[in-house]
């Protein structure tokens, strides 16, 4: 009986990505999970800046800029904690006064797509396209952001901002409001 059962069983056809054993099964599960997650990440990536698009009827201009990264933390935004643990400004005319962390100069919460610029050159609401970052909107200003050739891009943490670094001669497309 056993002899005939062995003959009847067909050997499984090995797939190129699948070897035998538990490790191979775990590897296959990881590949399948990644394959299922990629469309979700792509969808989320597209949604991150979904509200930031050039205004209709505006003509783009190209400007070469120095572009840096920042986050909402104390090293980027000049705040510290007081003796009660509350965030306060650490320098300037508002030193010691309470600070709302993560709120931009125009009152919105900072998120991917938030750009700090010199608002004398790029008023709030100006839409930009920065290669390697995507679309952004001017919603903040910064102490070191002076002139038409400087931008600061918001990142969710200091590590991501430092990874962006300081990039010079970045070709930025600018759409000012008509």
- Between 141 and 174, name the one with better pLDDT: 174
In a domain, 55, yes or no: no
Is residue 88 a contact partner of residue 79, using CB atoms and an 8 Å limit?
yes
Q: Are residues 17 and 73 in the same domain?
A: no
- For the cut 60, the answer to whether the pLDDT of residue 33 exceeds it is yes
pLDDT classification of 127: cutoffs 50, 70, 90: very high
Helix (H, G, I), strand (E, B) or coil at 29: helix
pTM above 0.75, yes or no: no
Torsion angles phi and psi, residue 130, rounded to 5: -115, 115
**Shared-domain flag, residues 43 and 131:** no
Q: Is residue 83 part of a domain?
A: yes
Same domain, 73 and 123: yes
Instruction: CATH number of the domain at 105, please.
Output: 2.40.40.10
DSSP string, 63-102: EEEEEEEE-SSHHHHTEEE-TTS-EEE-SSTTTTSB--TT
Is residue 56 in a domain? no
CA 100 to CA 79: how far, in whole Å? 10
Average pLDDT value for residue range 84-101: 71
């Amino acid at each position: 009986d056993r002899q005939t059962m062995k003959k009847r069983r067909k050997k499984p056809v090995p797939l190129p990505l699948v070897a035998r054993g538990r490790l191979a099964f775990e590897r296959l599960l990881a590949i399948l999970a990644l394959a299922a997650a990629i469309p979700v990440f792509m969808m989320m990536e597209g949604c991150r800046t979904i509200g930031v698009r050039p205004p209709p009827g505006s003509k783009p201009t190209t400007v070469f800029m120095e572009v840096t990264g920042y986050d909402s933390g104390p090293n980027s935004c000049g705040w510290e904690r007081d003796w009660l643990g509350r965030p306060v400004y650490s320098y300037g005319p508002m030193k010691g006064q309470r600070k709302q962390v993560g709120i931009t100069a125009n009152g919105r919460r900072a998120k991917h797509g938030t750009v700090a610029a010199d608002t004398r050159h790029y008023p709030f609401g100006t839409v930009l396209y920065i290669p390697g970052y995507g679309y952004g909107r001017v919603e903040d200003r910064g102490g070191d952001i002076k002139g038409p050739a400087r931008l600061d891009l918001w990142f969710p943490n200091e590590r991501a901002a430092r990874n962006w670094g300081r990039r010079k001669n970045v070709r930025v497309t600018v759409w000012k409001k008509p």
